[in-house]
């Protein structure tokens, strides 16, 4: 399983719009072939900080996500809403095991 943890830091005045854009991206992302999980978390301590847990069966599935219309629309929509650059950290998902 290929997992990416994405960290996003949003301008305070854009938090609600960001959450809505993320909801739309989430709803399409969970229907992608190869998607295992697509969780979006908001910090309990700082509502402008978000974490995405994106799990795909393979690295190719994760790469395909970056080519989808819904991801590209989300990326372009939220680009100017970032207080600082978002970044992702890749991981190998060990457990639970996911069948290919």
Residue pLDDT tens, the chain, 100 long: 999 999 999 999 999 999 999 999 999 999 999 999 999 999 999 999 999 999 999 999 999 999 999 999 999 999 999 999 999 999 999 998 887 6
What domains can be seen in the chain, in order of their start residue? 2-84 (3.30.70.100)
Q: Give the pairing of strands 2-10 and 82-92.
A: antiparallel
With CA atoms as reference, report the closest residue to 18 among 87, 79, 65.
Answer: 79
pTM of the entire predicted model: 0.94
Is residue 21 a contact partner of residue 74, using CB atoms and an 8 Å limit?
Answer: yes
């Amino acid at each position: 399983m290929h997992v990416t943890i994405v960290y996003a830091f949003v301008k305070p005045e854009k938090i609600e719009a960001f959450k809505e854009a993320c909801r739309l991206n989430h709803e399409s992302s969970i229907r992608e072939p190869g998607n295992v999980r697509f969780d979006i978390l908001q910090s309990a301590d700082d509502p402008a900080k978000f974490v995405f847990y994106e799990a795909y069966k393979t690295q190719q599935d994760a790469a395909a996500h970056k080519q989808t219309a819904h991801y590209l629309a989300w990326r372009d929509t939220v680009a100017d809403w970032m207080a600082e650059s978002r970044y992702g950290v890749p991981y190998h998902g060990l457990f639970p095991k996911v069948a290919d």
